[in-house]
Structure 1
Amino acid sequence: METANIQSVAEKNIVSVALANIQPSSYNPRKYFDEVSLAELAESIRQQGVLQPIGVRPIDESGKFEIVFGERRYRASLLAGLEEISAILLNVSDETAAEMAVTENLQRKDVTPIEEANAYQKLIESGRYDVQSLAVQFGKNENYIRTRLKFVSLIPEIAELLEKDEITISVASEICRYGTDIQKEVYDKHLKADSYNSWRGLKAAEVAKFIEQDFTTDLSRYAFDKTLCASCPHNTNNMMLFCEGGCGNCANRSCLAEMNASYLVEKALQFVEQYPSVSLGYQDFNNNVVAVERLTAMGYEVEHLNTYATAYPETPVAPEKEEYDTIEEYEQAYKEYEQDFSNYMEKCRSIHERIDTGELTFYICIGQKEITLRYKASATVNANEATEKTLSPMEKLEKQDERNKEIAREKTVEDTKKQILDVDMSESKFTQDEEKMIYFFLLSSLRKEHFEIFGIEEKEVYQHLTDEEKMDIIANLTAKQKAVIRRDFLIESFKGAYGSNAAATLLLDFARKHMPDTLAGIESEYNEVYEKRHKRIEERKAVLLVKEQQEKQTEAAETEETQVTAEAQPEALPQPEETAA
């Protein structure tokens, strides 16, 4: 190794170098120099000189030198007023120079834990060391090296506290087990100088307990498969020497959220397959936004339930004999179970009857941690709709498909209205199409930001043009002013655009003329969602069609079997006629 030969070469290359020709290096792991101790060293150098040479290497052919090690002696010599310093002239590569600087700093007695951590990290990143070789090189055990390496992950605020001995190494060791998000919260709430509930001065075990209690999540509260969590380093069961068993707590919030959302999406799809005619939905509270967004992106319509939906009854669980001390207790429990099950079946029957009549609507509800079946009162229908026959599953899907297409149109119209308000078209030529549009709307409204164009001073928000002001404007309109008025008239009128009404059609025509790229983006977004939903509905319709065909085949087979059975029966013998008396 190149570093191993430095000591023998160094003794032959000691020279005197002008301080003016020396500059510090960028790879020195030591970033903090105590001013008091530096002043004390400077005074010692004034009295006795520099007792140990620093290490430098030449910078190209410029006559300048870069410090390899000994920057503190260099700084103190500047303070002492020296012009030259004894230096070992080294001809080494960048990698070796960086390694020597790190190694030399690690041999100092006053190296801080953070400086030590950064130094070990740099040596490992050089590719020449691992934890085992570092332990041998510096006479440390491997656990010591690993603990120091963890300090690299400390956020700067907590690292500074450790540098200044305001928290102990043991406390820092507990904190660095967690991600930056938790570290930031711990610092803001409990380690800042003005923290109300400060943890400074607490023992490491207490800090570990409080972090787990206040900043991690109990995995047992989640329903997803936690097999991978059992061996995860972010599971508190694997972070502490002693744990209370169970699933443990999760310290990786982003991973926890991802595992939960993936589970919810997968289970929702299973429910959809099991109940193809039931709609997906979510409530204002206890929902998972990520799961809802993913299902929507996959083409499923997830309805926002603006009123509370009741959970579908849970099936009673039959008692087990092993759970009871006597047969009498078991029999009593079983009787209660039978009564509960009877009540459960009656309640389910009542719910389904009301669903069949349209009084209630069934939903697969996306919760925060679980997917549940829920139901709620259906929206009020008008008298004509109330008299219509109950729709078949196929008709319901077709009606839902129509509604999905309407939603795509409605969303497009809504977003287009928002975009038009931000587009200034006062300088562009008024087109014939716009001229036609102007006659459609009956009222016009000049936007306040255009008052200045007509020489009208700025008004309060609630003030509008008076009739006299309007008359003055009309009397002397320029071509530009006319265009502004007509376009403002249109823009104001477009606020009434909705779904497939005439105003919405004109709105989209207007946007296609002045902002085609923006409109194309809006239409593409919602049409893509519709196409996905349309595809899903077609798949569900195909499933229903297969079921209907199977039912018809079964019905036909039963009818045929009935006919064959009837034909196989012997004909009734004719009764003899009565003989006349």
Structure 2
Amino acid sequence: VTPIEEANAYQKLIDSGRHDVQSLAVQFGKNENYIRTRLKFVSLIPEIAQLLEQDEITISVASEICRYGEDVQKDVYDKHLKEDALHHSWRGMKATEVARNIERQYTTDLERYAFDKTLCLSCPHNTNNMVLFCEGGCGNCANRTCLAEMNAAYLTEKAVRLMEERPDVPLCHENTGYNEIVVERLTAMGYEVERLNCYAKAYPEQPEAPLKEDYDTAEEYEQAQSEYEQELNDYTEKCEEIRTRCEAGEIILYFRVESKDIVLCYMTKVTYASNSTNQEQTLSPMEKLEKQDKRNKEIVLEKTVEDTKKQILEVDMSECKFGQDEDKMIYFFLLSSLRKEHFEAVGIGEKKPYCHLTDEEKINIIANLTSKQKAIIRRDFLIANFKNAYGSNAIASLLLDFAQKHMPDLLADIKNGHNEVYEKRHQRIEEKKAVLLVQEQAKQEAEQSDKQQSEAGMQTEEQPQEEDIAA
């Protein structure tokens, strides 16, 4: 009996509901670890299972490979276990070597991630739970999908928390090196995440105080404490400089979305607004928010038009009656081309994919068109020109009218999806505007209070002088 046949037999007995690992071990005189190891072979992809059947790999090597998912197994087979994998072949390697190679190439060090790794400690995809590899630390993750989701959820939650604490600091990401999933989720939640074309400097990190127990002598600890105090003083001065420049409008703070963290950063306002007009640079915070809100509303229309353009090609309208509204649209456009999938419908035989209708073929078609053929051609004219729809241009308006007629439910879903995002963004902006109003009122009250105190002080100084004159 081969290991694969044995594994399938054990699995069949367990699936019957009459046996478990313990009863199988008793019945066949094997220990439980032996049974569990054989059962794992059921998860091997057919190509690697065949190698085990033919003794091309050992049971120990197969035991290490079956710890991983189908995607990893497939890649290991294609690159390292196929017959033609001469330069990178793992055939003939010991199980420990194969295990280390898989860990190195197909797992990720959990130490590089900031999310809570409590659940990872007991996860079967953590290499620390693979006996051959337990070397301390957090271990490596072999489940890339789970790792990406855990990281994305943590970063999204952290970004929301930071925005609640500092609503005046916007979110941003750079052109590369950011977590796209997190940016998409934050955008769907109504947060604006700006794309920066220039690199923003990281906010200074506060130095950590030395611990006395980490040093062998009192002199070493005192030296470390002295260095820490100097670093802390430099850190405080740098933070104060950034705060002062930020209040003066010279720089702007951001929460930057990175691949594995959300960090505070800053950049000079001149760099940020290098392509803006002087008028845009002098806008008040309230005006900027209102301008941003207006832009968000425009994005809804742009996205709706863009998604409608993508969907409209998928809707079959060749059997629909050509309406009067479509007749009006046809005159908007100049000359359009017929889609290749409709060549046969207008009497044109099979043509090569890259060939277009010749002028002679077009004349023949026009001479003998049926009502249905006319409808197909006119709609193809419209659809071809709808590709030029964007934003709020005239073609976009016609596109949405056309979609409302032939695919109202799909168009409604598109609009609702983008309007939901707008409403969330609108709500965030209203919250920020409310914060700015409170700050402005507090500032005015403080200025009024200072003015009153100043006037009261002047009156107090003048009163003794009048008493001296009277005396």
What is the TM-score normalised by the length of structure 2?
Answer: 0.80
1:169 matched residue in structure 2:
59
1:118 matched residue in structure 2:
8
1:539 matched residue in structure 2:
431
TM-superposition CA deviations, 1:411-458 (whole Å, max 9, x none): 11222234445556577555443455456x4x6022144889999998
2:116 matched residue in structure 1:
225
Secondary structure, counterpart of 2:131 in structure 1:
coil
Of residues 499, 511, 518, the one that matches 2:391 is 499
2:287 matched residue in structure 1:
395
1:134–1:381 distance in 2 versus 1, CA, 3 Å: closer
Which has the larger share of helix?
2
1:169–1:402 distance in 2 versus 1, CA, 3 Å: same
In 2, Cα distance between the equivalents of 1:548 and 1:464? 67
1:337–1:548 distance in 2 versus 1, CA, 3 Å: closer
1:159 matched residue in structure 2:
49
Of residues 304, 311, 316, the one that matches 1:412 is 304
Of residues 387, 394, 403, the one that matches 1:511 is 403
TM-superposition CA deviations, 1:261-293 (whole Å, max 9, x none): 111111111222233133333333212222222
Contact between 1:445 and 1:492, CA under 8 Å: does it hold in 2? no
The Cα of 1:202 is off from its aligned counterpart by 1.8
TM-superposition CA deviations, 1:462-485 (whole Å, max 9, x none): 98988x999999999998887677
TM-superposition CA deviations, 1:514-570 (whole Å, max 9, x none): 332332232222122222222333334344444445555666666677778888889
What is the aligned residue count? 458
Contact between 2:128 and 2:139, CA under 8 Å: does it hold in 1? yes
Is 1:191 the counterpart of 2:75? The answer is no
The 5-angstrom pairing of residues 266-345 of structure 1 reads: 266-305=157-196, 307-315=197-205, 317=207, 320=210, 322=212, 325=220, 327=222, 331=226, 334-335=229-230, 338-339=233-234, 342-343=237-238, 345=240
Secondary structure, counterpart of 1:325 in structure 2:
helix
List alignment gaps of at least 5 residues for structure 1. Answer: 1-110
Q: Percent of counterpart pairs with the same letter?
A: 60
Query: Which amino acid in the other structure matches residue 113 of structure 1?
Result: P
1:15 matched residue in structure 2:
none
The Cα of 1:244 is off from its aligned counterpart by 2.2
Contact between 2:204 and 2:238, CA under 8 Å: does it hold in 1? no
In 2, Cα distance between the equivalents of 1:265 and 1:303? 15
In 2, Cα distance between the equivalents of 1:338 and 1:253? 42
1:150–1:437 distance in 2 versus 1, CA, 3 Å: closer
The 5-angstrom pairing of residues 103-142 of structure 1 reads: 111-142=1-32
Secondary structure, counterpart of 2:263 in structure 1:
strand
1:73 matched residue in structure 2:
none
Is 1:378 the counterpart of 2:272? The answer is yes
Contact between 1:171 and 1:207, CA under 8 Å: does it hold in 2? yes
Higher mean C-alpha deviation, range 188-197 or range 453-462: 453-462
Query: Which amino acid in the other structure matches residue 283 of structure 1?
Result: E
Secondary structure, counterpart of 2:155 in structure 1:
helix
In 2, Cα distance between the equivalents of 1:268 and 1:329? 34
In 2, Cα distance between the equivalents of 1:174 and 1:493? 57
2:142 matched residue in structure 1:
251
1:506–1:155 distance in 2 versus 1, CA, 3 Å: closer
In 2, Cα distance between the equivalents of 1:161 and 1:474? 64
1:370–1:438 distance in 2 versus 1, CA, 3 Å: same
Contact between 1:498 and 1:504, CA under 8 Å: does it hold in 2? yes
The 5-angstrom pairing of residues 23-62 of structure 1 reads: none
In 1, Cα distance between the equivalents of 2:315 and 2:13? 57
CA-based RMSD: 4.1
1:530 matched residue in structure 2:
422
Is 1:366 the counterpart of 2:257? The answer is yes
Larger Rg: 1
Query: Which amino acid in the other structure matches residue 203 of structure 1?
Result: K
TM-superposition CA deviations, 1:289-325 (whole Å, max 9, x none): 22222222323233444x2432323235266485672
1:417–1:565 distance in 2 versus 1, CA, 3 Å: same
Secondary structure, counterpart of 1:523 in structure 2:
helix
The 5-angstrom pairing of residues 469-488 of structure 1 reads: none
Secondary structure, counterpart of 2:161 in structure 1:
helix
List alignment gaps of at least 5 residues for structure 2. Answer: none
What is the TM-score normalised by the length of structure 1?
Answer: 0.66
